[in-house]
Amino acid sequence: MKNTRFLLSAAAAVTAAAILLSGCSTPEKTMSESSQPQAPSYRYEHELNVIDDNYRNYYQVFVYSFCDSNGDGIGDLAGVTSRLDYIQDMGFNGIWLSPIMPSDSYHKYSVKDYYAIDEQYGTMQDFEELAAECEKRGIKLLIDLVMNHSSNEHEWFKHASKSLRSDPCGAAKDKPCLNDNICPVHDKYIDYYYFTDEKPVGTNSWYRIGSNRWYQAVFSEQMPELNLDNSAVRSEFEKIADFWLEKGAGGFRLDAVKEYFSGNPEKNIEVLNQFMKHCKTVDPKCYVVGEVWESFTNYTKYYSSGIDSVFGFTMAQESGKIAKTINGKGADNSVKSFAQAMVTVEQKLASYSDTAIDAPFIGNHDTNRGAGILGYNETKIKAAAGLLLTMSGSPFVYYGDEIGLSGSGRDENKRAPMIWDSEGTGLTYGPPDMERQENRFADVQTQLADENSILNYYKRALRIRNENPCIARGTTEVLTVPGQDIAAVRRTFDGDSIVIVYNYSDESKEITEIDGLSEMQIRGYLTVDSVEEVLLDGGLKMPAYSIAFITGK
């Protein structure tokens, strides 16, 4: 069902909220009911110990769908600012914003001006206010930087296109142009893109411009490829980075890095290396994470560029290690195998860079929602979050995953509106051509009040992470415990350590085989049912699908 964007009134927005919240079936495990036993008091909350560095908990915001502040049905920067207290209270101290620059597309990945804000999202003042409010809260703000391509409406491309339609003036390239409008020989912007006189054979990524020229555009006709082999183009992006860092951005998410020079990772890494050196010179604390949608072996090579992080696709999506651990069967898909995979990731990254920070995630704006790939099973959704948020590095959580938001199939569905409450507060219309979304779980407001909700599981997991810096920063060692569905790791950082124990079986277990257990104490725990708790009384007594955090006394 197409989104009837311009027909929705304020009252219709409330109706839309009801549609978005309705489900064709109920989750396999429902939210907590008033008739359930009283949840035990959680006794292990400690003082936060948040370090101001580049290890953070990131929240990905697709601005178009996140929160509408002015009633036009489109999310905006002021809407993001209005939700900063929520984001901070959840335990996130980093935000990645989807592209915010002027664009003809709803997703904004076709950039028309790298120095401005899309008017649908607000003004530069709105961005500056958002950045200032993030800084007050200790939240690092990342913006999406698209260096692989621009819009065909960008002035660089328009200038080049106009020149290509004129004849050469006759003057040598190192001499002034004789035409009133600069000719193709003298227009520097022609070398910003890939143009050719003949369409290359065997490819569909070239489009005609004028009567006898072609330009390359891999993603769509409206997104011409930029020539990053041109030092002038690289310099442009260094200036763009300077501009946004000065405006208050704390770093960048780099889009489509492997497509800078498709099939040539060495060239891609060289571009990244130059960009990273520049950014770190301008702001040594800035953080850059790259999208390299490749296999584990291939994407980890990009750490040799000096980039802070590359997204950990080995853990993400239906095919990733997290979903396989939750959905799969057998030793290769066990939590014990997951524990070993964490060590493998850390060692591989360290082999390329001693400053590498893993960036694991379950899903993002390009992938099917986590709730769907886990069968809308509440226990599985929580258990997957538990794996993600006990990994080292800087985990990224896609907005709405903390409430089990739905979205699969076409891209627009994966970017559906965030559901804040049952009244439609801040509700957006969602992307054009988004199909009807049937969400199986409650809105943010309802889940905040429900101790047993998915949201509150995420919140406690993030709290424990923020109480214990070694979870994100430490080196992982796998400990020996019996059973494929039981795993234990020790995470050590700066002289401190914490032992993380997983019971990912479907029944309670008592674990006694950890060395020194009698001298340890519970630091915190995660259970998929709030009426259950982890106990340490001789042995470590753990409910099904629970995680215990234990330390020396």
Supply φ then ψ for residue 548, to 5 degrees. -115, 145
Contact call for residues 366 and 414 (beta carbons, < 8 A):
yes
- Which of 484, 525, 395 has the alpha carbon at shortest distance from 92? 395
pLDDT of residue 379: 98
Average pLDDT over the chain reads 92
In a shared domain, residues 114 and 44: yes
In a shared domain, residues 320 and 184: no
Segments forming the whole domain that contains residue 443: 5-51+59-149+234-470
Percentage of the chain exceeding pLDDT 90: 83
The whole-angstrom separation of Cα 340 and Cα 523 is 23
Query: How many domains would you assign to the chain?
Result: 3
**Cα 385-514-326 angle, rounded to 5 deg:** 25
In a shared domain, residues 46 and 114: yes
Q: Which two tokens stand for residue 46?
A: 């400690």
pLDDT of residue 180: 78
Catalytic residue among 255, 378, 402, 443: 255
In a shared domain, residues 394 and 276: yes
Residue at which a domain ends, from 470, 504, 519: 470
In a shared domain, residues 428 and 511: no
Confidence tier at 38 by pLDDT (50, 70, 90): low
Q: Is the pLDDT reported for residue 461 higher than 80?
A: yes
- CA dihedral for 396, 399, 403, 404, sign (positive or negative): negative
Helix and strand numbers (H, E) in the chain are: 16, 19
Residues in the chain: 553
Q: Is the pLDDT reported for residue 161 higher than 80?
A: yes
In a domain, 222, yes or no: no
The whole-angstrom separation of Cα 436 and Cα 429 is 11
In a shared domain, residues 523 and 457: no
- Please indicate whether residue 291 is annotated as part of the active site: yes
Which of these ranges, 13-17, 191-195, 293-297, has the smallest mean pLDDT?
13-17
Q: Is the pLDDT reported for residue 11 higher than 60?
A: no
Q: Which two tokens stand for residue 131?
A: 């950045």
In a domain, 227, yes or no: no
Residue 85 host element (H or E):
helix 84-90
Q: Is the pLDDT reported for residue 25 higher than 50?
A: no
In a shared domain, residues 508 and 374: no
Contact call for residues 166 and 119 (beta carbons, < 8 A):
no
Residue at which a domain ends, from 446, 470, 494: 470
Contact call for residues 325 and 343 (beta carbons, < 8 A):
no
In a shared domain, residues 194 and 278: no
pLDDT, tens digit (0-9, with 9 covering 90-100), for 98-112: 999 999 999 999 999
Q: Enter the DSSP assignment of 76.
A: -
Residue at which a domain ends, from 470, 505, 534: 470
- Please indicate whether residue 255 is annotated as part of the active site: yes
pLDDT, tens digit (0-9, with 9 covering 90-100), for 207-239: 999 778 899 999 999 999 999 999 999 999 999
In a domain, 518, yes or no: yes
pLDDT of residue 548: 99
CATH code of the domain covering residue 490? 2.60.40.1180
CA separation, residue 514 to residues 292, 484, 495, 520 (Å): 38, 15, 20, 10
Confidence tier at 174 by pLDDT (50, 70, 90): confident
In a domain, 221, yes or no: no
CA separation, residue 90 to residues 212, 317, 387, 512 (Å): 56, 23, 17, 33
Percentage of the chain exceeding pLDDT 70: 93
Q: Is the pLDDT reported for residue 114 higher than 90?
A: yes
Q: Is the pLDDT reported for residue 30 higher than 50?
A: no
Of 112 and 9, the structure prediction assigns the larger pLDDT to: 112
In a shared domain, residues 479 and 538: yes
pLDDT, tens digit (0-9, with 9 covering 90-100), for 321-336: 999 999 988 778 999 9
The whole-angstrom separation of Cα 192 and Cα 226 is 6
Residues near 398 by beta carbon (within 8 Å), at least 6 away in sequence: 60, 62, 361, 362, 363, 364, 365, 369, 370
In a shared domain, residues 210 and 264: no
pLDDT, tens digit (0-9, with 9 covering 90-100), for 392-420: 999 999 999 999 999 999 999 999 999 99
In a shared domain, residues 346 and 364: yes
Catalytic residue among 225, 291, 294, 529: 291
Per-residue pLDDT, averaged over 486-504, amounts to: 97
Confidence tier at 21 by pLDDT (50, 70, 90): very low
Of 33 and 438, the structure prediction assigns the larger pLDDT to: 438
In a shared domain, residues 365 and 413: yes
CATH code of the domain covering residue 362? 3.20.20.80
